[in-house]
Structure 1
Amino acid sequence: MFTKPAGFKYYSKYFFKYYVKYPGRQPPNLSTKTADGIMQARLHDWLEKKLTPPQVFKEMGFTGTFASASKDPQFKYITQYSKMWSDLQVRLTKEADELMRARLDSWLEKKLTPPQVFNKLGLTGTFESAREHPDYKYFEQYSKMWSNLQVRLSQASAPAKSAEDLMIEKLYYWLKKELSPPQVFKELGLTGTFASARGEPNHKYFELYCRMWSAAQGG
């Protein structure tokens, strides 16, 4: 049984990189496993250099179209590289989005307006004419973030309604629903008779509702 010597891992890495750098020196009769290892190293080298699948197609000596070359045994590496390239684009897009999201959050903390962010993104012209720019989506995203912030700030600055105001709103709501005074009596948590409940805190609202009800009935 073959035992890998110390440093074999580093030797293998160097071995593959050597033939990546000097493909013309690669021996013709290497084992399938070794040849595949060298090819994998070449694919990763091309990916680091950000070569597109069509460029790798040419690097591998293919001619014609992808379809016409698909029956070549080596075409499997084009298929593999295309997937590697696609995965890289997804990863780069995700990283760019995360970085831009951090920038948008930072601008929002500084309370930059949408027009200011429009300029920060390097967009020019009008909002409408810049729609085709790749970064316009971030401007739209920021505009929504800005709008939501303004809503939150306006809500925070609005005076809180008192318990009295909230109860009056309830009375008007019940009147709109045409609840009768006995029904509202129960809704207010009052028990017993109308007379026996006079000492309860909510009885004043019941009396008010009775007047509202009477007025609505034309009484």
Structure 2
Amino acid sequence: MLLHFQEVLSRDDVLEMRRLLDAADWSDGRATAGAQGAQVKRNLQLRPDHPVARQIGAYIQQKLAQHAQFQSAVLPRRTLAPLFNRYEVAAEYGWHVDSALMRSGADAELLRSDVSTTLFLSDPQDYDGGELEVQDTYGSHEVKLPAGDAIIYPSTSLHRVRPVTRGARVCAFFWSQSLVAADAQRTLLYELDLTIQRLRARLGDDADTTALTAHYHNLLRQWAAP
């Protein structure tokens, strides 16, 4: 399931984040990549323990906790603290799949990466190239969103960031372990939840919406692994 969420961050949020990020010290992004990813990764990244990364990351996590669509689509059990990358001219990240198991600190519990999220902090007109390209069963999809918008996709997807040819592409990115590991099951639950919400807005809590809500929760009960 590839989903675009609009205006996760306000314009003021983005401007303040960019002010802090543009003044920060960036490092070679290969330091946080796995063995395969390091061979095809050419970008800059903010250290996870950098004060700016911690400050902005905490705010993004707060916004996502209040974002009903994100919560419904991802059903997060746990989400890693956001990381931040910067792609300048000639920077890119070749085809790769995200690591299956991750941790945010030396003693942190392992997280199974089920859902990947990219939150754009640069507007499309500020840079050329730099599209996020994601492959799924329906082909290849190129993503380049307004600053403040986010895209989610299964972490099992083969994906890349195309080379930047002008300007700079700045994003936050992170992974979630879902209560429901299978993407097909998460998709069904998300679409069922949206249908229930639309029916409830039109009909209220009648017998049919109540029955559908029961089906939703019984499927979630069957598939969820807390």
| TM-score normalised to structure 2 length | 0.22
Q: Which has more helix, going by share of residues?
A: 1
Q: Which has the higher contact order (CA 8 A, sep 6+)?
A: 2
Q: Give 1 or 2 for the bigger CA radius of gyration.
A: 1
